[in-house]
Amino acid sequence: MDIKLAVLIDGDNIPSAYVKEMMEEVAKYGNPTIKRIYGDWTKPNLNKWKNLLLENAITPIQQYGYTTGKNATDSAMIIDAMDILYSEKVDGFCLVSSDSDFTRLATRLREAGMKVYGIGEKKTPNPFIVACDKFIYIEILKHQAATSESETTTTTTEEKSGYDTITKKEIQFIAATIDDVSDDDGWAFLGDVGGLLQKKQPNFDSRNYGFQKLTPLIKSIPAFEIERREDSRGHKKLIYVKLKAEPSKGKKR
């Protein structure tokens, strides 16, 4: 059963070009029963949003900037989020912004038992990212849509243009997470690994590195070994991963 989500968009802080991919991404996590976007619609910088609102059934919320230098949009969005929380009409929230001002809101919603997804640009400050259960970069969603037709289904280990390159630090992060959930032989169920990676680092996403899923990302890293096993009923294959043992070095006499 899909969870009901409230999607609240900071119109002053998110480019309109990403709306289609953004809403498709939100639908993966639940049913967006409330969709609102906040901003001062008398300003020309929000004109690009107007044609997209009807197409995506997003309700615009007018918020005038009463004071120079103060972000009235943030305040309106936070107040609405708390009203929705107390109405008990949703099971989770999707906060769309690159603004760290929503860090406390995300934390408060999670304290109330809500699932919180964040969507924003790569410039988003880390405090807001880690305050969410999961954080998705909208640049990846746009790049993914633009290149999906030209990409083949064959996974390669070559570096993919336009994506982040996975670093030694990130490989060590994955290795440590595998170790956290592995059995005595060093094997870990990949589903458990993926869940823990997300809890440790909400913005960890295989798509940031050009891979649709975690499995092909792990396969592309020589340090890891993958094994497919049948479940107890033989209905499906379960994927396990472990860190490859380093070759032993012969001692010189």
Q: What is the pLDDT of residues 60-79, one digit of tens each?
A: 888 776 544 446 668 889 99
Residue the block writes with tokens 């989020």: 81
Per-residue pLDDT tens digits for 163-212: 788 889 999 999 999 999 999 998 999 999 999 999 999 999 998 888 88
**Amino acid making up residue 226:** I
DSSP at 17: G
Euclidean distance between CA atoms 182 and 61, whole angstroms = 48
Tokens representing residue 81 in the block: 């989020």
Domains of the chain: 4-147 (3.40.50.1010), 168-243 (3.30.420.610)
Higher pLDDT, 239 or 160: 239
Whole-number Å distance between alpha carbons of 73 and 117: 19
The pair phi, psi for residue 83, each rounded to 5°, is -60, -45
In the predicted model, what is the mean pLDDT of residues 81-98? 94
pTM confidence score: 0.80
CA R_g for the chain: 21
Residue whose pair of structure tokens reads 């990846």 in the numeric block: 140
**What pLDDT does residue 196 have?**
93
Average pLDDT over all residues of the chain: 83
Of the listed ranges 88-92, 221-225, 232-236, the one predicted with least confidence: 232-236
Can you give the pLDDT at residue 27?
Answer: 92
